[in-house]
A and B are shown apart, each in its own frame.
Chain A
Amino acid sequence: MSAIKVEKLAYSYVGLEQGQSVKVFEDLDLEIEQGTFVAILGSNGSGKSTLAKHFNAILLPGGGKCHVYGMDTADEELLIPIRRSVGMVFQNPDNQIVANVVEEDVAFAPENLGVASPMIRHRVDNALKQVGMYHYRTHAPHLLSGGQKQRIAIAGVIAMEPRCIVLDEPTAMLDPKGRREVMETVARLNKEKGITVVLITHHMDEAAKADRVVVIHKGVVRADGRPKEVFSDIDYMHELGLAAPETVELCHELNKLGYALPLDLLESEDCAQALYNALGGN
């Protein structure tokens, strides 16, 4: 079953002044299977956030269709079930803060989507623990540090328990440990609960953890496949303003010295082993 199905999507932002408009998509097709973990990559302004906002009906197609779990996002009657199915973490967590107390903020979405109160308490506590912010539950969200706000936003979507989670650069402000924890949480939700995960990121090592990587460039899908396949075409990634994980970049540079290292080593252990063999260590 497809979680998200975008067909012939067209979208333009219309400026305040008449006649000014920015065309983002002309004819985009993309299907995301229920239960998969998909990373979306692309340079600044390529259309990632615009696309993501179609997935829970914040934006409506200017042309073509967007279906989530078979529901047409253009059908106003379906707005609540659509928002209940697809939870979203926005690029800037500040825009997402709605309450003056952390736990109320995290409870906001499930409350609005009609989750029963006793359940909410449990979900909120659980979500805050998962992102390591339980201790801050009575704090004021706007007085938190950048990374702490980001964790609260992630807790908010975890507490909703949607079938599909869309995260727009959720780790941009997190320290290395926080990034690892968020990636583990996301992977767990995907593996254990079968939640579909759509992760927009500029961190190539995070995309490497996905089942599938989709690269968007100027509103067009330019690469789509397993992380190993997509990243090993490193020259193409560079051409699109992107990169490969550091281990692949390292092998690529070393190959210029005449080595023939494979370009699909995404883990440092695999990279070290291959290098060890190439350097005549064994």
Chain B
Amino acid sequence: MAPILEVRNLTHVYSAGTPFEHRAVDDMSFSVQRGEFIGIIGHTGSGKSTLMQHLNGLLKPTSGQVLLDGVDIHSDKKFTRQARFRVGLVFQYPEYQLFEETVYKDIAFGPKNMGLKAEEIDRRVREAAKLVGLTDAQLEVSPFDLSGGQKRRVAIAGVIAMEPEVLILDEPTAGLDPASRAGILENIETYRKTKNATIMMVSHSMNDVARLTERLLVLSGSKLAMDGTPAQVFTRADELLDMGLDIPDVTRVFLRLKQLGLPLEPVYTIEQAVAAVKKLKEGK
């Protein structure tokens, strides 16, 4: 099947010709199939946010290409504009996205720009708000009067309300409490399934990406260092630690159990850990 997104030899250089010139993305290539849930991990400054901002055409490559459904995102202005709606990007800092007087208007901003009818906008705003756990009362307040975690919910809802085919989330769970983090991630997974949407999630939580994604892109020093399933990636524990990353906590516990001599396969999530223990018990 033709990929929904294709990144070809993408390179981005910031502040070219100044003392702060920095090659933030260096010759990256990969493609993304419709319906995939991909996690992006990498150390601070490895180029994750820069890469993500290319995928909806917000940044222009210094060289290389991003293709959406086989067409270069920058091939013509109209297509670039459409790409902003088809590929929704939730920024790392939600404040960058909030500017209207009420939460409702903020979430409605995207759908309104798309030229949708009033009832359709209303339906989408309420659905998106529900998905991120915002109450009806919160829709009427100013987004600036919200707590940090509440602002993040508004930012996520604002992009989901556009019902993008590809949803890109840059650190969506930073600042969310554990229960809402689990709840919102579950709802995003439901969104993917019901809409056959593609999700790309940047995260520093190894536990979260292990639990949710089917594929991980690992960035290091502006390069794409690994591209594989969580199982493939997390078996390379030493390399990950060298890159400033980590393995999930349960993985560490089970590696230790294996070292101690128990016949256990590696696990990456609590669910897998419970299944492995069950199997071990039954095998006895």
Contact = CB atoms under 8 A, between A and B. Distances in A.
A241 B270 contact: no
A247 B249 contact: yes
Interface in B190-215: 204, 206-207
B117 interface: no
A43 interface: yes
A94 B149 contact: no
B257 interface: yes
A172 B44 contact: no
A275 B257 contact: yes
A268 B42 contact: no
Interface string A121-158: 00000000000000000011001111110010000000
B271 to A, nearest CB: 8
A43 B181 CA distance: 10
A45 interface: yes
A176 B234 CA distance: 14
Nearest to A139: B20
Interface in A176-192: 176-179
Contact of B180 (A43, A145, A147, A176): A43
Given A92-B93, A268-B249, A268-B252, A42 B15 contact: no
A145 B45 contact: yes
A249 B270 contact: yes
Interface string B167-201: 00001001111111100000000000000000000
Interface stretch (B29-37, B66-74, B78-86, B276-284): B276-284
A236 interface: no
B274 interface: yes
A275 B260 CA distance: 11
Contacts, number: 153
Contacts of A169: 148, 174-175
Nearest to B48: A145
A179 B270 contact: no
A276 B260 contact: yes
Interface stretch (A60-68, A80-88, A103-111, A250-258): A250-258
A16 interface: yes
B43 A175 contact: yes
A42 B177 contact: yes
Given A169-B148, A173-B174, A238 B204 contact: no
Nearest to A237: B178
A94 B95 contact: yes
A79 interface: no
B248 interface: yes
Interface in B135-182: 141-142, 145-150, 153, 171, 174-181
Given A175-B245, A202-B178, A241-B180, A246 B44 contact: no
Nearest to A275: B257
B148 A44 contact: yes
Contact of A250 (B44, B245, B253): B253
Interface in B18-53: 20, 42-45, 49
B92 interface: yes
A140 B15 CA distance: 11
A272 interface: yes
Interface string B251-284: 0111011001110000000100110011011001
Interface in B72-113: 92-93, 95
Given A16-B142, A177-B244, A257-B274, A91 B175 contact: yes
Contacts of B42: 175
Contacts of B284: 280
Nearest to B246: A176
A34 interface: no
Contact of A205 (B153, B180, B249): B249
A45 B207 contact: no
A87 B273 CA distance: 42
A173 B42 CA distance: 12
Contacts of B280: 279
Nearest to A90: B148
B178 A173 contact: no
B175 to A, nearest CB: 5
B244 A175 contact: yes
Given A202-B175, A241-B178, A92 B95 contact: yes
23 contacts: A13-B145, A44-B149, A91-B175, A94-B95, A145-B49, A146-B49, A147-B44, A172-B174, A173-B44, A173-B174, A241-B178, A241-B179, A242-B178, A242-B179, A243-B178, A246-B249, A247-B249, A254-B277, A272-B260, A276-B260, A279-B257, A279-B262, A279-B280
Given A43-B177, A205-B249, 19 more contacts: A15-B141, A43-B149, A94-B95, A144-B45, A145-B44, A146-B49, A169-B174, A172-B175, A173-B174, A175-B43, A175-B244, A177-B244, A243-B179, A246-B249, A249-B270, A250-B273, A254-B277, A257-B278, A257-B281
